[in-house]
Homo-oligomer: A and B are copies of this chain.
Amino acid sequence: MHILLVEDDAQLGSAIQRALERLSYTVSWLRDGRSALAAMRDRTADLVLLDLGLPGRDGIEVLVEARRAHVDTPVLVMTARDGLTARVDGLDAGADDYLTKPFHVEELAARIRSLTRRMRGLAVNRIEVGVLSLDVGTSEVTFRGQPVDLTRREFALLQALMENAGRLVRRESLENSLYGLDHVVGNNALEVLVHALRRKLSFETVRNVRGFGYMIPQDPK
C-alpha cells in the first residue's frame, strides 16, 4: 500500500509521514504541485493525500490536471478550516474525500481505510466472523445474534481485530491504529481495553499471543 503525500508544511508533513509509516503504509512525501503531478502521472501510488494550500501551483489545479490525464487514483484532500469553497471545489475537481485541518491521526487512518475499502470495489460495510458481526456504517455489533453495546475505542479495537480475523495483530500495530502517533499512552491502556471488550463479548473471543499481540480466531466462540 503506497501513499503519496503532498504537503508543503515541513512539520505537518513529517508528522503525517511518520504516523502513516507506523501504520505500515509506504509513504512518498512531496512538497510541491509540480512533482506531485508528475508522481500521480506515474500511477505508482495507491492513494494520494493532497493538501490544497500548496504554494505556487494550487492543489486544485494539480487534481484537475491529473484527472484530465485520466489518473483515477483515489485522492483524499486536506484543507484548512476556512477553505470553504475550496472544499467544495475539491470534490467537484474529483477528490474522493476531504478532511479539514486540524485533524486527528485516528480520523485520517479511518478515512484511508474507508477509501481503500471503497476502491477495492464493493464497499463492504459489514464484517462477519463466525458468530461475530460488525457494521462499519452504523457502528452496530452483534455477537451470537445479540446486539452488543460498545464504546468508540472498543469498537475500533474490534474492527481492527476482525479485519484480520484468524491472523495475529501485533500489539504495536493495534496501539498505532487506536491511538495514532501524537498520543503517547501508557503501555497497558490496550490491555485494559481488551479486557473491557472481552467482558462484553466473551473471554475466549479475543486471544492473546504472549509477547506479540492479539487475535480473533476464524471461528470465535
Contact = CB atoms under 8 A, between A and B. Distances in A.
A32 interface: no
Contacts of A102: 91, 95-98
A53 B92 contact: yes
Number of copies: 2
A140 B168 contact: yes
12 contacts: A9-B92, A14-B72, A80-B88, A80-B92, A82-B184, A84-B182, A104-B118, A106-B137, A137-B170, A138-B167, A139-B170, A149-B209
Interface of A: 9-12, 14, 22, 53, 67, 70, 72, 80-82, 84, 87-88, 91-92, 94-98, 100-102, 104-106, 118, 122-123, 125, 137-140, 149, 151-152, 155, 164, 167-170, 181-184, 209-213
